[in-house]
């Protein structure tokens, strides 16, 4: 028989409890409890099958196929073509709509590109390609 849980409760005044302990000199109170290891838990079942794990979720949008242009690649190519100019996020919308993406999704793409150092964000809210962005785009332009 495995020991799972033991619970003790005493309802006594502190003075009564201390008097009871002090009336037994030389008694050392020490409790050790040992139990068995928990057995392995069987997998949860869902409609007679093992329940799916949380990380097995598939995205609604498939990953881009080889050769398919992504939003980030389109934006970077646009900035490389106009490397000396600065653009606001609203001006990038037509680039995304030209490849079939939502034109209002430019801001998150630009933010991610700023974090990776491909473009820089000016104080006036405009964006411009960096040297790192130019270097990253060269292999894709040739290939």
| 110 vs 27: which has the higher pLDDT | 110
Q: Would you list the domain boundaries of the chain? A: 71-142
Catalogue the long-range contacts made by 36-41 (C-beta closer than 8 Å, 24 or more residues apart): 36/2, 36/3
Considering the domain delimited by 71-142, tell me its CATH architecture: Orthogonal Bundle (1.10)
CA distance 74 to 129: 13
Q: Give me the pLDDT at residue 72, please.
A: 86
- pLDDT tens digits, residue range 68-110? 778 888 899 999 998 889 999 889 989 988 888 888 888 888 9
Q: Give me the pLDDT at residue 23, please.
A: 74
Strands 119-121 and 127-129: antiparallel
Whether the pTM exceeds 0.75: the reply is: no
């Amino acid at each position: 028989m495995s020991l799972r849980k033991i619970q003790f409760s005493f309802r006594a005044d502190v003075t009564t409890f201390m008097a009871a302990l002090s009336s037994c000199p030389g008694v050392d109170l020490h409790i050790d409890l040992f139990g068995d290891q928990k057995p392995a838990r069987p997998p949860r079942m869902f409609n007679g099958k093992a329940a799916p794990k949380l990380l097995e979720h598939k995205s609604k949008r498939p990953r881009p196929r080889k050769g398919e242009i992504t939003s980030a690649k389109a934006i970077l190519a646009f900035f490389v073509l106009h490397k000396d100019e600065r653009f606001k996020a609203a001006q990038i919308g037509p680039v995304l709509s030209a490849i079939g993406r939502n034109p209002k999704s430019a801001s998150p793409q630009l933010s991610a590109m700023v974090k990776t150092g491909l473009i820089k964000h000016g104080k006036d809210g405009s964006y411009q390609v960096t040297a790192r962005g130019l270097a990253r785009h060269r292999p894709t332009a040739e290939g």
